[in-house]
């Protein structure tokens, strides 16, 4: 069978340390087509750190399943519309991020927080509870097609190329949402701009720095070494701090920042207690990376400045629309390296992502050729 | 020598498990009297959990010193005024909390956050850097006299008795400050009151419940068992949840609370991950207890509802004044049990505090007799 009965994607079959990045073509049956569904013929999908964590089962999910097709930074063309879809027409260029479904009825959803809906389904690695009573594993965007509820499908502004836009759908919104939710609305006398830190310059940091700058913040970038300093400045950093190169780095920013968005992907060797000292009284630290091991923190670490630590997951429909508007207005673009999709291309992309060997995202392209 | 050259107090000499609550009278030299100092003849001092942690050196402070006179919920009469003190006159009834000094010049102090000043000196257990270049260990309120910078001395409203007011100076302000700083100013449509949780009903919780109620919040009290339910309701609780009596307790409040102030004094067996689920999207958890061991938390624990965890330390001068005003307006009173001060009285008070055997604070009284 072929589309629309089955889709085809590049799947991880075994998350073991030897085979996690080895993908093979895999035919799968998508969820039943429902009234609000949109089918998308995929043109581009960029590679997110979550793809790696899922390919290795690094989060030790007990309900992980394989074969698993990763990918949730998806751009393509609308090829089929459910009868209740009103916002799209055939041929529209659209994007899909990491969320594919929510109940859209609960108090969480009704408050524009559908990303925190207890019934959310992720674009891959999740389980759809279909209207016909069946269940379907969700599979991601290293595929020829995606079938997604229209609330989680977004128009892509014509000013952005596929590759410039794709990473915004996860890395972009993941850093945009905690900024717009937590940048203080009022500033003390004498402070003209919010002071925001971005920790780490990878796929998330690359987007976060640009958003913080575009949102009018004085932007502080923290990285271990100076290696990425020129890039950080180009992305919009006002200050760059190489934490491994100056044991007293925190003195430059002590009690100074309103908000820090931390994209660090590992808790190991991460000196959270020192970092927290960079926050103003009552300042906020938001984790958007998802380390595989926990932090150990004492309430005392927060007591020196009454600071807060939290986390954030993706962002809402309303925020996604606002984000793309800002990208157009302020010239924000994802920085990507392109790799044509294939078994080898996916392997290379996943490994570059895992070992921080790209500036700063890999976008899989040429889907037409791979799924001819 | 005697006052004003030396003061006398009941001191812990050895923080060992056998001797931590054994106190003996101890004569000590106070800091030199400076222009902004106020000398207070102490009438009442209530016993705070910090007194116990300090008596046992439970926080493993490397700079702890003994003999140590605890006590930082102090009420007494002004008996001596530095030449630059303008707010007080001899004979005024005043109170002192856990902070005795700050630089009052840095940006932290200038923003009404002097409690987070890097140069803060606690009322006991700290070190004064005197203007004459010497250093003095600070000693607390289980004493005949206290010598305190006037910014950290407060008028006590005549409506409050010594014992009703004393615990407000630490337990009171410790719970008041995080409430007034973090209760949301705007509520979503359909919600008429902020929803605030207080975890634990001891000395801190006894004050926190009253403040939350007085500040117009719907107040949720969490305790292990129903034993203290009647008291919680009397203190102003709208809802009481006995977490050990209902394994599904969190379902009653899931995604529901704007703010939780946690007074728990121990991290052991404390199911922080479940508690965090009680918070609304973006809600805040503030620790005011200081467990002796750290929590282990994953950023993932915060990701289900984008919540935040932080901590808070005491409160500011401005907040202290606001707190006493509210106490008068709304009839807030500390619930205390009185014990006349003596070696035996202090021992009993410290042990009742450590083992949760009081409702809900012990106030040491009859200083006149002990220091005749």
Q: What is the pLDDT of residues A28-87, one digit of tens each?
A: 999 999 999 999 999 999 999 999 999 999 888 889 999 999 999 999 999 999 999 999
Asked whether residue A285 is domain-assigned, the answer is: yes
Residue A239 Cα distances to A214, A234, B359, angstroms = 15, 11, 53
Residue B259 lies in a domain: yes
Look at residues B296, B311, B326 and tell me which one is the last residue of a structural domain.
B311
B350 touching A (Cβ < 8 Å): no
Range of the domain at A162: 7-170+333-370
Question: Which residues pair with residue B76 across a beta bridge?
Answer: B42, B94
Q: Which residues of chain B have pLDDT under 50?
A: none
Residue A316 included in any domain? no
CATH of the domain at A49: 3.90.180.10
Q: Is B282 on the interface with A (CB under 8 A)?
A: yes
Contact B181 A291 (CB under 8 A): no
Contact A116 B305 (CB under 8 A): yes
Of the partner residues A108, A188, A308, the one whose CB lies closest to the CB of residue B308: A308
The reply to whether A177 and A158 lie within a common domain is: no
E strand or H helix that includes residue A322: helix A317-330
The residue of chain A with its CA nearest to that of B301 is A311
The C-alpha atoms of residue A278 and residue A307 are separated, in whole angstroms, by: 10
Residues B216 and B91 grouped into a single domain: no
In chain A, what residues touch B302 (CB-CB under 8 Å)?
A: 287, 309-311
- Residues A182, A166: one domain? no
Tell whether B140 is within 8 A of chain A (Cβ).
no
d(CA A275, CA B100): 28
**A240 and A148 in one domain?**
no
- On whether residue B48 sits in a domain, the answer given is yes
Mark yes or no for CB contact A295/B298 under 8 Å.
yes
Q: Are residues B192 and B178 in the same domain?
A: yes
Cβ neighbour number for residue B312 with a 10 Å cutoff: 27
Interface residue A107 vs chain B (CB under 8 A): yes
Q: A237: closest CA among A273, A269, A212? A: A212
Q: Is there a single domain that holds both residue A228 and residue A251?
A: yes
Q: State the 10-residue block means of pLDDT for chain A, 372 residues long.
A: 94 97 98 98 97 92 94 98 98 98 96 96 97 97 98 98 98 98 93 97 97 98 97 98 95 96 81 92 92 74 93 97 98 98 98 94 98 90
Rounded to the nearest 5°, which phi and psi values hold at B226? -80, 0
- Distance between CA A219 and CA A332 in Å, rounded? 15
Helix (H) or strand (E) holding B308: strand B308-311
- B284 inside 8 A of chain A by CB: yes
Taking the C-alpha atoms of residue A145 and residue A43, their distance in angstroms, rounded to an integer, is: 9
Q: What pLDDT, on the 0 to 100 scale, is given for residue A281?
A: 97
User: In which residue are the tokens 């999709």 written?
Assistant: A341
Q: Comparing C-alpha atoms, which of B339, B220, B321 is closest to residue B280?
A: B220
Chains A & B: contacts with CB separation below 8 Å: 110
Judge if ipTM > 0.90: yes
Whether B296 has its CB under 8 Å from any CB of chain A: the answer is yes
Residues A152 and A259 in one domain: no
Residue A129: how many other CB atoms lie within 10 Å: 14
Closest Cα of chain B to A177: distance in Å? 10
Residues A277, A353, single domain; the answer is: no
Alpha helices in chain B (DSSP H): 49-55, 107-110, 162-165, 171-182, 203-214, 229-235, 272-276, 299-303, 317-330, 343-354, 367-370
CA B97 to chain centroid = 8
Strands B74-81 and B37-46: antiparallel
Domain-located, residue A327:
no
Euclidean distance between CA atoms B107 and A69, whole angstroms: 53
Residue B290 lies in a domain: yes
Residues of B in contact with A116 (CB under 8 A): 255, 281, 304-306
- Give A256 to chain B, closest Cα distance, Å: 10
Nearest to A308 among B293, B300, B310 (CB): B310
- Nearest-CA distance A312 → chain B (Å): 5
Assess contact for B175 and B219: CB atoms under 8 A: no
A62 touches chain B (CB under 8 A): no
B2, part of any domain: no
d(CA B372, CA B369): 5
The whole-number pLDDT of residue A311 equals: 94
Alpha carbon distance B176, B154 (integer Å): 16
Domain count within chain A: 2
Three-class secondary structure of residue A360 per DSSP: coil
Instruction: Let me know whether A184 and A161 are in one domain.
Output: no
**Domain finish residue from B311, B339, B360:** B311
A82 touches chain B (CB under 8 A): no
CB atoms B116 and A290 under 8 Å: no
> Which of helix, strand or coil describes residue B230?
helix
Cis ω on the peptide bond leading into residue B4 (within 30° of 0)? Answer: yes
Tokens of B129: 């850097």
What string of H, E and C letters represents the secondary structure of A156-180?
A: CCCCCCHHHHHHHHCHHHHHHHHHH
Q: A284 — contact with chain B (CB < 8 Å)?
A: yes
How far is residue A145's CA from residue A46's CA, in Å, rounded to a whole number? 15
Task: Please tell me if residue A281 touches chain B, with a CB cutoff of 8 Å.
Answer: yes
- Residue-level pLDDT at A14: 97
B65 touches chain A (CB under 8 A): no
Same domain? A305 vs A192: yes
* Beta carbons of A302 and B296 less than 8 Å apart: no
For residue A307, the chain B residues in CB contact (below 8 A) are 310
Check whether residue A84 and residue A53 sit in a common domain: yes
Flag if B309 and A308 touch (Cβ within 8 Å): yes
């Amino acid at each position: 069978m072929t589309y629309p009965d089955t889709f085809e994607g590049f799947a991880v079959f075994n998350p073991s340390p030897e085979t996690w990045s080895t993908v093979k073509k895999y035919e799968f049956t998508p969820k039943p087509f429902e009234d609000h569904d949109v089918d998308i013929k995929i043109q581009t999908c960029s590679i997110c750190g979550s793809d790696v964590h899922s390919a290795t089962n690094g989060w030790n999910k007990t309900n992980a399943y394989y074969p698993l097709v990763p990918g949730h930074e998806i751009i393509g063309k609308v090829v089929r519309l459910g009868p209740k879809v009103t916002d799209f027409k055939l041929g529209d260029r659209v994007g899909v991020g990491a969320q594919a479904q929510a109940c859209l009825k609960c108090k969480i959803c009704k408050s524009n927080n559908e990303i925190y809906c207890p019934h959310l389904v992720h674009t891959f690695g999740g389980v759809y509870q279909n209207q016909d009573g069946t269940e379907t594993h969700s599979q991601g965007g290293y595929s020829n097609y995606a079938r997604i509820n229209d609330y989680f499908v977004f128009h892509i502004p014509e000013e952005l190329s596929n590759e410039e836009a794709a990473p915004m759908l996860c890395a972009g919104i993941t850093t945009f949402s905690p900024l717009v939710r937590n940048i203080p609305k009022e500033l003390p006398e004498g402070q003209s701009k919010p002071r925001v830190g971005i920790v780490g310059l990878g796929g998330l940091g690359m987007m976060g720095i640009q958003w913080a700058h575009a949102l009018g913040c004085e932007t502080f970038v923290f990285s271990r070494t100076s290696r990425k300093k020129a890039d950080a400045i180009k992305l919009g950093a006002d200050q760059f701090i190489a934490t491994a190169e100056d044991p007293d780095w925190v003195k430059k920013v002590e009690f100074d920042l309103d908000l820090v968005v931390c994209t660090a992907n590992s808790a190991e060797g991460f000196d959270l207690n020192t970092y927290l000292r960079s926050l103003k009284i009552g300042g906020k630290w938001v984790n958007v990376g998802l380390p595989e091991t926990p932090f150990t923190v004492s309430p005392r670490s927060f007591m020196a400045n009454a600071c807060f630590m939290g986390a954030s997951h993706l962002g809402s429909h309303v925020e996604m629309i606002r984000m793309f508007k800002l990208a157009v207005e302020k010239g924000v673009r994802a920085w990507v390296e392109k790799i044509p999709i294939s078994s080898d291309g996916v392997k290379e992309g996943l490994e570059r992502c895992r070992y921080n060997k790209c500036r700063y995202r890999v976008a899989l392209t040429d889907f037409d050729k791979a799924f001819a």
